[in-house]
Amino acid sequence: MSASVRSIRSTLAAPARVLIADSYDLFAIGAARSLEKSSATREIQTVIVDHIRLAEIRLRQESFDVLLIGDSLLPVPEQNLKALLTVQPIKIGVIYDTLDPDQVAECYRSGVKAIVSRRISVESLCETVDKLLVGIEFIDRDALEAVLLSIKQENIGKQKEMDNGTLTRKEQKIAYMIATTGKRNKEIAANLSMTEQVVKNHLRSIYVKMEVDSRIQLALKLLCSDIVLGTTSRDQGK
């Protein structure tokens, strides 16, 4: 197990409960065994069901931290996921078999926190669940490109431009760096010669103004809406 996984697990209290809803029995069983064996400092308990209705019933009966659900069980993602989240506010990860850009985008908009391929490695699957447990979103490259493609197609013909007065100059620089470089707060602070706490304060303000609640949502909104930040790579460090 990687050091990063152990580090994340070390911050968690035992046990964690994961509900796996998937029509592919072999994958579900393998995922359950891998997650249970992967635990270093926190026990992981898994429950497997093969139908979305059964997942809803289990959520009504028991408390879970994470739901991993196969995309084949989501014929109408928005409706299906809303029903599940209404029963219990749970962190959801979707396992996709055949990538459908519109379905992936709908899943993300409906509150899914992780989207990964069924071909994911055992270690990556465990790390994805670790991230979900501490509230970190994760979308693999193919799924992220699908989300971007779907949103861009919806925005065809819509000219969206952000008023430069909406965000302050410093907020524009921080938002630009997050959207284009993926830098973390500590790296942004060093680049812009400010403290990490100041960056966090600006980021909270950015989230409110842009009506998002995560770095991924912020990046998607900026990149997919053709928003003009009023800053370039030449002046981001000024």
Highest mean pLDDT, choosing among 12-26, 50-64, 140-154, 169-183: 50-64
Residue 236 has pLDDT above 50, yes or no: no
Q: What torsion, rounded to 10 degrees, do the Cα atoms 142, 144, 147, 151 define?
A: -120
Which of 231, 233, 234 is closest to 162 using CA atoms? 231
Architecture of 169-224 per CATH?
Answer: Orthogonal Bundle (1.10)
The ranges assigned to domains in the chain are 3-153, 169-224
Q: Tokens for 149, please give them.
A: 């493609």
Q: Which of 24-38, 86-100, 201-215, 221-235 has the lowest mean pLDDT?
A: 221-235
Question: Residue 11's pLDDT band (boundaries 50, 70, 90)?
Answer: low
Put simply, whether the predicted model's pTM sits higher than 0.85 gets the answer no
| Contact between 126 and 5 (Cβ < 8 Å) | yes
Phi then psi dihedrals of residue 196, to 5 deg: -65, -35
pLDDT top residue among 108 and 220: 108
Among the four given CATH numbers 3.90.76.10, 3.30.565.10, 3.40.50.2300, 3.90.1300.10, the one describing domain 3-153: 3.40.50.2300
Residue 207 above 80 pLDDT?
yes
pLDDT band at 68 (very low <50, low <70, confident <90, very high): very high
> What's the pLDDT score for residue 158?
43
pLDDT value at position 130? 87
pLDDT at 231: 41
Q: Which residue has the higher pLDDT, 131 or 235?
A: 131
